[in-house]
């Protein structure tokens, strides 16, 4: 029997840090409001010359180094992003070229918002198991600062920029690596978090720019409730499907959107908060990058040991959601 393992992980966040105090000079808010409502103290913001692919490249290089694999060995590249460099071509093609991944590789982007990394994991896992590909590089990368309205205090305090990546390989060993994954999508909730303009329904124009409809719009309270509901469902399903209990899950890495969402999820699942990895205080919500950035940190911090079970659980615009169970 064969398994698909995570052979290496890496992350990159831009140098510039925007603190809550900095935000107080930009919009009518307070450090206390942001911390108590979201758990965020600061976030990293990309420079004007840094695009999503630049963040992705650095995270990918770190993951390849961690896996001790050269870019020439990668034959499947997936970039999960809601903030591509261009509407077309894909950010994956930009990364493929700049990283030196051979042109015979398959490279594409996926749009699953904050669930993008777990969606990419599922796709790469399935493709590697078939034997069609040998080495997959998956990246979650976002420059959310480019789609945030910096005059809207209800959204701008929540998001940050960054990238995380993982290298996946098939090994001839049973019961390690990705044990299973479960994805879902509910388009009925699509308008809870969306960008009205810039797509085919409402192409960019002077009017859309004047209305600021190229920026993200969000129904925070509705997202909050649904996030807790869907993450609880997919987390339970994944654990039960594999005949485990939550006592056996050493670490849960949730999408980092709001610490109160994580607290509610932990309470509903009956899992102590200490077994959740939380770094939202330092990065804010980095969408598809949030789970791989947290995974990279958790490994470096010694929170993941051989034999451990780690559960990734995400939700995002769409409404997309998913969970991945990993044994190290």
> Contact with ligand ACO (CB under 6 A): which of 16, 35, 37, 282?
37
Stretch that binds ligand ACO, among 221-229, 236-244, 270-278, 303-311 (CB under 6 A): 221-229
Return the residues of window 136-195 that contact ligand ACO according to CB under 6 A.
153-154, 157, 193
Of 172, 67, 114, 123, the C-alpha closest to 293 is: 114
CB of 185 to ligand ACO, least distance (A): 12
Q: Is residue 14 within 8 Å of residue 55, measured between CB atoms? A: yes
- How far apart CA 308 and CA 297 sit, in angstroms, is 16
Is 262 a binding residue for ligand ACO by CB under 6 A? The answer is no
Is 62 a binding residue for ligand ACO by CB under 6 A? The answer is no
255 is annotated as an active-site residue: yes
DSSP 127-144: HHHHTS-SEEEEEEEEEG
- By beta-carbon proximity to ligand ACO, the closer residue of 154 and 241 is 154
> Contact with ligand ACO (CB under 6 A): which of 31, 33, 129, 213?
33
Beta-strand (E) ranges in 111-223? Answer: 135-143, 161-171, 177-185, 193-194, 217-218
Catalytic residue among 114, 135, 156, 258: 114
Stretch that binds ligand ACO, among 47-55, 89-97, 126-134, 216-224 (CB under 6 A): 216-224
For residue 282, give Cα distances in angstroms to 223, 269, 301, 308, 325.
22, 25, 15, 26, 25
Stretch that binds ligand ACO, among 3-11, 218-226, 272-280, 299-307 (CB under 6 A): 218-226
- How far apart CA 195 and CA 209 sit, in angstroms, is 12
Is 13 a binding residue for ligand ACO by CB under 6 A? The answer is no
> Contact with ligand ACO (CB under 6 A): which of 145, 258, 323, 324?
258
Catalytic residue among 20, 93, 156, 255: 255
Q: Is 262 left (phi over 0), alpha (psi -120 to 50) or beta?
A: alpha
Q: How far apart are the first and last CA of the chain?
A: 17
Residue 152: HSE in the Cβ half-sphere, 13 Å Cα cutoff: 19
Which residues contact ligand ACO by CB under 6 A? 29, 33-34, 37-38, 113-114, 153-154, 157, 193, 218, 220-221, 223-224, 227, 257-258, 285, 287, 316-317
């Amino acid at each position: 029997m064969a398994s698909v393992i995570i052979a290496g992980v890496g992350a990159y966040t831009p140098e510039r840090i925007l603190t809550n105090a900095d935000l107080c000079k930009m919009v009518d808010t307070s450090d206390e409001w942001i911390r108590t409502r979201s758990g965020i103290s600061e976030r990293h913001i990309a420079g004007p010359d840094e695009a999503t692919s630049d963040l992705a490249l650095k995270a990918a290089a770190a993951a390849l180094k961690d896996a001790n694999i050269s870019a020439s060995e990668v034959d499947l590249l997936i970039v999960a992003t809601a903030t591509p460099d261009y509407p077309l071509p894909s950010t994956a093609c930009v990364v493929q070229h700049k990283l030196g991944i051979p042109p015979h590789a398959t490279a594409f982007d996926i749009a699953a918002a904050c669930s993008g990394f777990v969606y990419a994991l599922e796709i790469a896992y399935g493709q590697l198991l078939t034997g069609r590909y040998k080495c997959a590089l998956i990246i979650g990368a976002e420059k959310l600062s480019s789609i945030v309205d910096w005059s809207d205090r209800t959204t701008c305090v929540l998001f940050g920029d960054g990238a995380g990546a993982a290298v996946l390989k098939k090994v001839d060993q049973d019961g390690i690596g990705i044990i299973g994954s479960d994805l879902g999508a509910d388009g009925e909730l699509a308008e809870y978090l969306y960008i009205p303009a810039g797509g085919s329904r409402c192409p960019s124009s002077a009017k859309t720019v004047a209305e600021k409809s190229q920026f993200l719009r969000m129904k925070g309270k509705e997202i909050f409730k649904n996030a807790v509901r869907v993450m609880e469902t997919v987390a339970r399903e994944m654990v039960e499907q594999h005949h485990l209990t939550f006592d056996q899950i050493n670490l849960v890495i949730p999408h980092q959107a709001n610490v109160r969402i994580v607290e509610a999820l932990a309470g509903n699942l009956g899992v102590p908060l200490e077994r959740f990895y939380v770094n939202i205080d330092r990065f804010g919500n980095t969408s598809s990058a949030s789970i791989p950035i947290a995974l990279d940190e958790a490994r470096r911090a010694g929170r993941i040991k051989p034999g451990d079970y780690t559960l990734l659980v995400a939700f995002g615009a769409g409404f997309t959601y998913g969970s991945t169970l990993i044994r190290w």
